[in-house]
Structures are given as C-alpha cells and as structure tokens.
C-alpha cells in the first residue's frame, strides 16, 4: 500500500450495538475496494476483523481491528482507515480507544432490530467527542426491516439532525434498489454492489417529498444566501446541496442515514461516496495537546511539514502476532528506522519497521504522514496513552478516556507453581486492555481483578489459558468486614508463667467501651494511680491492644471503634517485662470483646445508577431486595434518570450483569465506599460460620 497525503485520508470508526453488522460492513468495504478476493463471514470465522481465537469461537468482536482500504473516488485515490469495534459493552474500552483515533463515525443499526442500547451509546460517544457521524442501516435484505419506521425512531431519539439520504425500493418483498434523495434519482442494483438508473416508484413519492423537504431546510439553514434562495422558491443545484451538506455533516449538525445489506454486498458504493464527500480528512481538523517544554496549550493543523508528534491509542500484545503499538500521527512524518522521544516517559526509543495493520496482517511501509494510522512493533517503553515526538519539540496529547471498571472478582492461579507466570501474563493482558485493573487485598489474603463486566473476565481467563498456558480461578471475593463492640465492660488480664529462673508476669485491669468512630481502630488512655503499673509498661499495653485489633475474636476481621482505658494492675519487680504486659493486654482485650456484645460491621457503598426513565421502577425494586436505601432520583437529559442509593458492598457483587439484564444493556453504574454499618444478625452469623470453616481448612 502506498503512502498517502493527509488530505487523502479518512479515519472512520464503526460503532453500534452487538450483532448490528459492523464486522460484516468492514468486510464488505474491503471486498468492494478489492482489498480481499472473497467475503468472509462472522459465522465461518474468516473475517479480516475477527481474527482472534476467542472472537472466532464466540462469533463477536472483542478487540478493535484496523482495516485500511484504498478507494478511487471523484477526488482521486483515497485511503480509508476503517476501525471495527466491539458492540458488547464489556469491551467498551476498545471502542473508546478507537474513537480517540477516529475523525468520523458510522453508527450501524440493524434494520430489523431498530434502535438498541448500543445505538444510543454510540451516539453519546460521538456527541462527547464531537465526531461527525452517519447511520448505516444494515439487514435491508430482511423483509421485516422497516426503513421508514426506523428513520422516524431515529428522529424521535436523536432529533432533526437525522437526514435520510436514501429511501428503499422493494419489489416482491425484496430490497432491489434505492432512491437518492440528494440527486432525486432512482437506482436499481444489478450485480451485488453495482447499480443502474431506474424510475422512482410511485409508492416512494410521498415519503421522498417529506425527506427532500427536510434535507432542503437543513441546507437552507447553512447560510443566509441559501436561506434567501430557499424562501424565494429557487431550486438549489446539486453542488450547492452537497457543499452545504458537507459543512453540516462536519459540524455535526446533520447525520445522514444510508442503507444496505452486508451479506448481499449492496449499498457500499454509495457509502464510500458519502465517506469521501461528506466526512472530513484530517487536513481540515486540528490536533490539540500541551507543549511539554512550556506547559502551554498546543493547537496545530494535521500537517506533514511540521515536527513529528503522535499519540499511541492502542497496544496489541499477542504472543502469536507480537507486540504492536498503534498510533495516529498528529503532525509531521514518521519514518521507518528512526528515533522517537516518548514525552510521557522522557526517554528516547528506536523505531524499526513501520506497518499498517490489516486485521492481523502487517503491511510494511517506509513512512506515514500526518493524520494517518499505523503501527510499530516491539517498542520497549511506550504504552497506550503515551505521546511521541522529536526531543526538541515535545508535545503531550491526552490518552483515550476509558470507562472505569466496577465489576470485580477474586483470582488466583489454579496451580500454585504458576503464580509467577500468571503475574507476567496478566501484565501483558493489561498492556492490551487498559480497563483491566489488579488490586492486592492483604487484609483478606486475596487478589482482586476489576473489569467492565463478567464476560470480559471470562474472555480474559480463556485467553490466559490459550495464549500463556496458565489457568486462573475467578471467585466471589471476601469483603472487608470490621468488628466492634456495643457494651462497656471491665476485665482483668493476667499473664503469669513460671519456667525456672526468671518467669513472666503482667497484670492489667482495663475498661473497653464503644467509641463509634469506625475510622479508627482504637483509642488508648491510662488512669493508673499509685504506680500499680509502671509507666514504662504503658507502651507495651497499648501495643497489645493494637496487635489484637488487627484480627478480631469474632470472625478474624480488623477491629474498629474501641476505647481502651488502663485502670489498674500489678507487677513483679523481677518477672515483669514488656512482653508480659503486652500479652496480658491481649488477653484482656479478647475476654472483654466477647463479653461486650461483639458485632460485625459491613462496608456500605454509595451507588449511582443511570438508566432510561422506563426502568427506574425495576431498578428501585431490585435495590430494595439488595437491602439498598434509595437516596434520591435526578432527571437527566435524553430521558434518563440518575438513581442514588446506599447498600452493602457485598450486594454489589456482579451487579453489572443483573443491571444489563434488567435494562437490556441501557443502564450504567458506579460506586464508592462511604462507611461501615452494623450487619444484620443473619449476615453476621453467616460470615462468622464461613470464617470458622476457612480457619479449619
């Protein structure tokens, strides 16, 4: 593949709900532009995009793939970098990385299924990143696909910016062609993607008039001159319409609606024409960052005659394919066998060969120019989110903004001998997937892994086995309970041991009471009169209390909220020692704790759930079952509600799966720890029993 100038590049991301047909569309675009000789299919596991073993097995995309295609358009030869993203929400990090590198988006909508939660999420991503977009309605070969109803639904959901550029022509319940609303011309498919002119059927006229009027209104609003012409009743030329549409699409004021059939390879000539005419090249955009040498805001056009700067938006760390860093060049030119400066790490790094990745196939190129997307193999220090440049002009770009993972499980190597191997493998997996996080939990002697969803963790476990031959066990985690007391008690702790020669003697009288301050383990005071316990043993007594609080007598969890007062005691001038008084204090603590109505405290989380209005009743009912306390609801824009609640952390385990089930994937959530509260009796009994079993084991 040749090297393309900035103005001849389009970076386009495919977005949409899982199963909408994104991978099939990427495959069809590669096929009609002669990038491949025959169409692969998701079911057969032979597409360019879904090359990973897990993707073939599960029959859906897990990672973002880049499919560069070459297209001979009206303005000459173009290179289009098609970024095929996963549709399932567990892999949203892959989508967010791709969006950070794209300049425009195709939102794929299944013509039969209509608007799905993934369609809405795709639109929201485009809005958040100011990405020009179009809708491509797939599955038009299905006779149950209603294009007109879908357009009405899109307009209702996303507003008047939705503009159909085509209307379908059907004969005998088959999709045979379309009407070009911009050019007011009929088109009939001949051989797959090819078409010829045909009359506009009478039954289309009514809907064509409505679609045309909406389109012309949008064109008129783009300038005062065109508005005057519109009110004067003058016809717009095709050139005027196309110029105004391009301006409006680039400004995110119009979202064209196109249609086609992936399996039948219909509608892709028009899609390619629209990508060329209405989607921006990087040449008309800006790269925005920070000049690391001055700290000042940096803003520059994507130009190849400037100093090199680029951002790494994704890493592939496959043991079979190798490690590749995928980057987008923001300014300048990157050449093979050159040196780059990693701005984040403040270190130089050597670039060897330079590649384009088509799925899992690397294509070597001598250089890549501003605005293009490529890959470098085996960088040692650079990772996703890093910026690269020349040393004397360091520019820092923001990395992809990724969703926070809130689904967590405990993990361990199935074989103890594999622990080191598992640690290394997980680090490589995290290089590739930045939404996976690891956290050590020494208190509960467990390791935690966080992800977006349960399915993501299942894929991770499967890949660990397949790629690195290490098996991982994913389990329900132990939660960070606390122990405390409810009553005030006074006890004596006496430690006396005779063993020939010096013995051990420590004697304390102490009072223990609840402080209700669960942020502190204990407070210690002494009220000893007359030197019953010498002052030099006070620190030893406190140390005995401190060590006792690390592991409570009830279930082995840390103790909090205890006031300890040393009242009295006795000592032996020869046998007393710091160790003896420390032990005596520990004995007093344990005795008092079990007498003072011990109780278990459970961690409470503040939960934020964002859902469409229609699901709020289901959400609140479910939260009540989880012992949640509803704090309030806030109306958000786009018909959504924010439900705030507090509930036990243990009842949030795998909440993501249940939330998606209740909302069809339209809900999202986040949480954070707020405090400890007394656990109900049945919960306390269950946790105590589980702890006993663990100790026995």
Three-state secondary structure call for residue 78: strand
Yes or no: say if 201 and 176 are a contact pair by the CB < 8 Å rule: no
Give the Å distances, CA to CA, from 343 to 300, 316, 346, 402, 602: 17, 21, 5, 20, 44
Residue with the larger pLDDT of the pair 68 and 227: 68
| Residue range 680-690, pLDDT digits in tens | 999 999 999 98
The C-alpha atoms of residue 433 and residue 452 are separated, in whole angstroms, by 11
| Higher per-residue pLDDT: 413 or 320 | 413
Query: For residue 423, what pLDDT band results from cuts at 50, 70 and 90?
Result: very high
Residue 160: pLDDT band with limits 50, 70, 90:
confident
Cα gap 646→629, rounded to integer Å: 5
Task: State phi, psi for 430 to the nearest 5 degrees.
Answer: -75, -25
| pLDDT in the model for residue 501 | 65
Instruction: Kindly report, residue by residue over 390-411, the tens digit of the pLDDT.
Output: 999 999 999 999 999 999 999 9
Determine whether 149 is exposed, middle or buried from the number of CB atoms within 10 Å of its CB (0-12, 13-18, 19+).
Answer: exposed
Angle at 522 between CA 520 and CA 527, to 5 degrees: 140
Q: Using CA atoms, how far apart are residues 184 and 178, in angstroms rounded to an integer?
A: 10
Q: What is the pTM of this model?
A: 0.90
Spatial separation of the C-alpha atoms in residues 517 and 188, rounded to whole Å: 77
Decide if pLDDT at 462 tops 80: yes
Contact 328/303 with Cβ under 8 angstroms?
no
At residue 444, the pLDDT reads 86
Let me know: does 62 contact 18? Beta carbons within 8 Å. Answer: no
pLDDT (mean) for 198-212: 90
Find the mean pLDDT for residues 19-25.
Answer: 95
Rounded Cα–Cα distance for residues 47 and 113 (Å): 23
Q: What is the mean pLDDT of residues 217-228?
A: 83
Question: What is the 3 state secondary structure string of 379-428?
Answer: CCCCCCCCEEECCCCCEECCCCCCCCCCEEEEEEECCHHHHHHHHHHHHH
CB atoms within 10 A of CB 47: 25
Around Cβ 93, how many Cβ atoms within 10 Å?
25
Give the closest residue to 507 by CA, choosing from 596, 592, 582. Answer: 582
Mean pLDDT over each residue of the chain, to the nearest integer: 93
Q: Which two tokens stand for residue 691?
A: 């702890």
Task: Judge contact between 4 and 87, C-beta under 8 A.
Answer: no
- pLDDT of residue 499 exceeding 80: no
Is the domain defined by 6-283 classed in CATH 3.40.50.300?
Answer: yes
Mean pLDDT confidence for 315-334: 92
Q: What is the tens place of the pLDDT at every residue in 354-388?
A: 999 999 999 999 999 999 999 999 999 999 999 99
Cα distance between residue 492 and residue 227, in whole Å:
93
Determine the Cα–Cα distance for residues 358 and 290; give it in Å rounded to an integer: 31
Task: Please state the CATH superfamily assignment of the domain spanning residues 285-396 in this structure.
Answer: Translation factors (2.40.30.10)
Spatial distance between the Cα atoms of 131 and 657, rounded to a whole number of angstroms? 30
- Residue 175's beta-bridge partner residues? 170
Portions of the chain given CATH number 3.40.50.300: 6-283
CATH 3.20.20.70 fits 601-692, yes or no: no
Closest CA to 50 of 364, 459, 471: 459
Residues of each domain in the chain carrying CATH 2.40.30.10: 285-396
Mean pLDDT confidence for 89-115: 96
Condensed to tens digits (0 to 9), the pLDDT of residues 522-559 reads 999 999 888 889 999 999 999 999 999 999 999 999 99
Q: Where in the chain is the domain with CATH 3.30.70.870?
A: 407-475
> Cβ distance 570 to 533 under 8 Å?
yes
| pLDDT, greater one: 503 or 668 | 668
Is domain 482-596 in CATH 3.40.50.1820, yes or no?
no
Say which range, 45-49, 141-145, 490-494, 668-672, has the weakest mean pLDDT: 141-145
- pLDDT reported for residue 586: 96
Cα 166 from Cα 269, distance rounded (Å)? 13
Report CA 423 to chain centroid distance, whole Å.
22
Q: Would you call 248 helix, strand, or coil by DSSP? A: helix
558 DSSP assignment: P
Say whether pLDDT at 217 is over 90: no
Classify the C-alpha dihedral 9-285-432-660 as positive or negative.
negative
pLDDT band at 500 (very low <50, low <70, confident <90, very high): low
Average pLDDT value for residue range 146-155: 93
Q: Distance between CA 278 and CA 248 in Å, rounded?
A: 9
d(CA 55, CA 247): 38
Contact assessment for residue 314 and residue 284, using Cβ atoms and an 8 Å cutoff: no
Q: How far apart (Å, rounded) are the C-alpha atoms in residues 679 and 682?
A: 8
Domain 407-475: state its class: alpha beta
């Amino acid at each position: 593949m040749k090297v393309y100038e900035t103005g001849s590049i389009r970076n386009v991301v495919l977005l949409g709900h899982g199963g909408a047909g994104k991978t099939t569309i990427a495959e069809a675009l590669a096929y009609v532009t002669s990038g491949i000789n025959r169409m692969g299919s998701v079911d057969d596991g032979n597409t360019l995009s879904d090359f990973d073993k897990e993707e073939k097995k599960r029959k859906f995309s897990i990672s973002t793939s880049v499919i560069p295609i070459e297209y001979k358009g009206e303005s000459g030869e173009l290179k289009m970098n098609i970024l095929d993203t996963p549709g399932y929400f567990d892999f949203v990090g892959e989508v967010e990385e791709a969006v950070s590198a794209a300049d425009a988006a195709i939102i794929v909508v299944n013509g039969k299924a209509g608007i799905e939660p993934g369609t809405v999420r795709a639109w929201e991503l485009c809005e958040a990143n100011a990405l020009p977009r179009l809708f491509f309605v797939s599955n038009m070969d299905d006779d149950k696909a209603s294009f007109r109803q879908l357009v009405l639904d899109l307009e209702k959901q996303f507003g008047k910016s939705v503009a159909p550029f085509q209307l379908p022509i059907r004969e005998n319940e088959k999709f045979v062609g379309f009407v070009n609303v911009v050019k007011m011309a009929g088109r009939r498919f001949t051989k797959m993607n090819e078409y010829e002119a045909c009359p506009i059927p009478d039954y289309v006229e009514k809907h064509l008039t409505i679609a045309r009027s909406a389109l012309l209104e949008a064109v008129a609003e783009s300038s005062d001159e065109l508005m005057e012409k519109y009110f004067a009743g003058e016809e717009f030329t095709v050139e005027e319409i196309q110029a105004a549409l391009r301006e409006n699409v680039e400004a995110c004021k119009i979202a064209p609606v196109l249609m086609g059939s992936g399996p039948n390879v219909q509608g892709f000539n028009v899609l390619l024409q629209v990508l060329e005419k209405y989607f921006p090249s990087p040449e008309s955009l800006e790269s925005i960052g920070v000049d690391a040498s001055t700290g000042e805001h940096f803003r520059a056009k994507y130009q190849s005659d400037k100093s090199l700067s680029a951002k790494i938006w994704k890493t592939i760390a496959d043991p079979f394919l190798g490690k590749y860093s995928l980057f987008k060049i923001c300014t300048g030119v990157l050449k093979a066998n050159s040196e780059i400066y990693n701005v984040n790490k403040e270190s130089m790094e050597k670039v060897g060969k330079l590649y384009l990745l088509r799925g899992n196939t690397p294509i070597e190129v001598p250089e890549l120019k501003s605005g293009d997307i490529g890959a470098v193999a085996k960088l040692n220090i650079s990772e996703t989110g890093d910026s690269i440049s020349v040393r004397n002009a360091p520019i820092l770009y923001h990395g992809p903004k990724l969703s926070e993972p809130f689904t967590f499980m405990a993990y361990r190597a199935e074989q103890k001998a594999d622990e080191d191997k598992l640690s290394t493998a997980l680090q490589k997996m995290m290089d590739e997937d930045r939404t996976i996080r690891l956290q050590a939990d020494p208190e509960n002697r467990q390791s935690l892994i966080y992800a977006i969803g349960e399915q993501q963790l299942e894929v991770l476990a499967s890949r660990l086995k397949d790629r690195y031959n290490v098996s991982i066990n994913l389990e329900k985690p132990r939660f960070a309970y606390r122990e405390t007391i409810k009553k005030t008690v006074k006890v004596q702790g006496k430690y006396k041991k005779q063993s020939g020669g010096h013995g051990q003697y420590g004697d304390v009288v102490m009072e223990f009471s609840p402080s209700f301050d669960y942020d502190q383990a204990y407070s210690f005071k002494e009220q000893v009169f007359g030197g019953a316990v010498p002052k030099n043993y006070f620190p030893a007594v406190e140390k005995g209390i401190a060590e006792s609080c690390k592991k409570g007598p009830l279930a082995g969890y840390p103790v909090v909220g205890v006031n300890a007062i040393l009242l009295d005691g006795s000592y032996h001038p020869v046998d007393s020692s710091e160790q003896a008084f420390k032990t005596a204090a520990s004995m007093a603590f344990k005795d008092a704790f079990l007498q003072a109505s011990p109780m278990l405290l459970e961690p409470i989380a503040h939960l934020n759930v964002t859902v469409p209005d229609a699901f709020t009743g289901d959400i609140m009912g479910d939260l009540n079952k989880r012992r949640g306390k509803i704090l309030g609801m806030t109306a958000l824009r786009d018909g959504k509600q924010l439900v705030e609640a507090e509930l036990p952390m243990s009842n949030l385990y795998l909440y993501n799966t249940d939330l998606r089930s209740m909302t069809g994937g339209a809900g999202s959530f986040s949480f954070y720890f707020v405090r400890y509260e007394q656990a109900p009796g049945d919960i306390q009994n269950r946790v105590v029993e589980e702890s006993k079993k663990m100790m026995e084991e």
